[in-house]
């Protein structure tokens, strides 16, 4: 269970408050969605949870199954089972996808006191997951995300998620830049991972992703806070009417 309580975050460098008291709980096994206008703080929330530098938490807490995330290094959070599919996946020239994946998998296993995967077991795992996402072997030999199309980058995020099998998956606009077929693939990838011991926080602007990945709960974020929480119908409301009505209620 991910529990965020009264989370206040400002930028390190300037006196700019971005998150102004976020309260959010994603119970184990559930899929929650966050929608909200551009600049409302959705990506910031996901970055702060993953441990990116540049932000200062001034108040509040965030825990995953009782473990204080904010106290941990990013790699420790990952080993605890947190995964962020980036809105803008990063290109890393000179590091092949395979090396990257293998290093990540085995580092997490080591952190959890497990044996590293053998080369063959690892290859088998990657091949199976890549096939399901229609990622060809050639792409895996290439440097991480370098020269990948927007859609390929997003699929690569889901591939990493499938291989690392985290317990808390945060997806930041994984649907943006995807064509209809790729969106289906990604949604299938996510749905295949749905499990009683795994939770999802899906950040999106569009109902169409939620058509495929049906959320249990939908939150609306505005100006650094969760301003409304409801069922899947809330996403439909946003789709039809935009945010104006919802924001007005809280103005």
Partner 1 sequence: MAVAKAKSAGLEERLAACPVPAGGRWISAARKAAVARLQAMGLPDRRDEYWRFTRPDALNSASPAPAAVFENSEKPVFDDIDRLKLVFTDGRFDAAASDDPVLAGVEITRLEEAAKSDIHWARDLYGVLEEAGQTPVARPFAALNTACATDGILIRVSGRVNRPISLVYNHKSDASDVNLHHIIQLEEGAEMTLLENGPGAARFSKVLEVDIAKGASFHHIRAQGRDHERLAITHLFVRLAEESRFKSFTLTANGRLTRNEAVITFTGDNAVAHVAGAALGDGDFHHDDTVFVTHDAETCESRQVFKKVLRNGAVGVFQGKILVKPGAQKTDGYQMSQALMLDDDSQFLAKPELEIYADDVICSHGSTTGAIDEEAFFYLRSRGVPAKTAEDLLVLAFLATALEEIEDAAIAEDMRSRLEGWLERRR
**Binding residue for ligand ATP, selected from 32, 33, 40, 79, defined by CB under 6 A:** 40
Judged on CB neighbours under 10 Å (0-12, 13-18, 19+), 68 is exposed
> What are the CA-CA distances from residue 129 to residues 134, 136, 205 (Å)?
9, 11, 27
The DSSP letter of residue 112 is T
Cβ closer to partner 1: 73 or 138? 73
Cβ closer to Mg ion: 18 or 234? 18
CB 202 within 8 A of CB 209: yes
> How many chain residues bind ligand ATP (CB under 6 A)?
12
Cβ closer to ligand ATP: 27 or 39? 39
CB 33 within 8 A of CB 211: no
CB 81 within 8 A of CB 167: yes
Among the listed residues 82, 47, 76, 48, the one whose alpha carbon sits nearest the alpha carbon of residue 64: 82
Cβ closer to partner 1: 15 or 53? 53
Sites for ligand ATP among residues 80-119 (CB under 6 A): 87
Torsions phi, psi of 225, nearest 5?
-140, 160
Report CA torsion sign: 233, 47, 84, 137.
positive
Q: Which residues bind to Mg ion, rule: CB under 5 A?
A: 42-43, 87
CB 238 within 8 A of CB 246: yes
Least distance from ligand ATP to the Cβ atom of residue 47, Å: 7
Least distance from partner 1 to the Cβ atom of residue 232, Å: 29
Cβ closer to Mg ion: 44 or 160? 44
Sites for ligand ATP among residues 46-65 (CB under 6 A): 54
Q: Determine, following the binding rule CB under 6 A, whether residue 44 of this chain makes contact with ligand ATP.
A: yes
Q: Determine, following the binding rule CB under 6 A, whether residue 42 of this chain makes contact with ligand ATP.
A: yes
Cβ closer to partner 1: 86 or 243? 86
Residue 73 contacts which entry, Mg ion, partner 1, ligand ATP, none (Cβ below 5-8 A, type-dependent): partner 1
Among the listed residues 130, 135, 143, the one whose alpha carbon sits nearest the alpha carbon of residue 97: 143
**Binding residue for ligand ATP, selected from 43, 97, 145, 199, defined by CB under 6 A:** 43
Rounded CA separation 205/245 (Å): 16
Q: Which residues bind to partner 1, rule: CB under 8 A?
A: 50-53, 73-75, 77-79, 83-84, 86, 89-95, 99-100, 103-105, 107-108, 111, 143-144, 160, 164
Residue 44 contacts which entry, Mg ion, partner 1, ligand ATP, none (Cβ below 5-8 A, type-dependent): ligand ATP
Rounded CA separation 86/174 (Å): 7
List of residues contacting ligand ATP (CB under 6 A): 11, 18, 36, 38-44, 54, 87
């Amino acid at each position: 269970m991910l529990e965020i309580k009264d989370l206040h975050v400002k930028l390190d460098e300037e006196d700019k408050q971005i998150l102004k008291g976020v309260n959010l709980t994603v119970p184990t096994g559930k899929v929650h969605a966050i929608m909200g206008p551009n600049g409302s703080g959705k990506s910031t929330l996901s970055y702060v949870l993953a441990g990116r530098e540049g932000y200062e938490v001034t108040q509040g807490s965030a825990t995953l199954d009782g473990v204080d995330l904010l106290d941990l290094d990013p790699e420790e959070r990952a080993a605890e089972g947190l995964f962020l599919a980036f809105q803008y996946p990063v290109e890393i020239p000179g590091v092949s996808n395979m090396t990257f994946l293998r290093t990540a998998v085995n580092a997490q296993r080591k952190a959890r006191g497990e044996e590293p995967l053998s080369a063959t077991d690892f290859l088998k795992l990657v091949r199976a997951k890549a096939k399901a996402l229609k990622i060809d072997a050639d792409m895996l030999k290439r440097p991480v995300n370098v020269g990948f199309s927007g859609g390929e980058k997003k699929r690569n995020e889901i591939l990493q998620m499938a291989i690392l099998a985290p317990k808390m998956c945060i997806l930041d606009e994984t649907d943006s830049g995807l064509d209809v077929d790729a969106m289906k693939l990604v949604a299938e990838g996510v749905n295949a991972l749905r499990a009683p011991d795994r939770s999802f926080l899906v950040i999106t602007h569009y109902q169409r992703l939620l058509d495929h990945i049906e959320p249990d709960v939908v939150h609306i974020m505005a100006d650094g806070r969760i301003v409304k929480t409801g069922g899947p119908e809330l996403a439909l409301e946003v789709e039809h009417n935009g945010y104006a009505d919802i924001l007005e209620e809280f103005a």
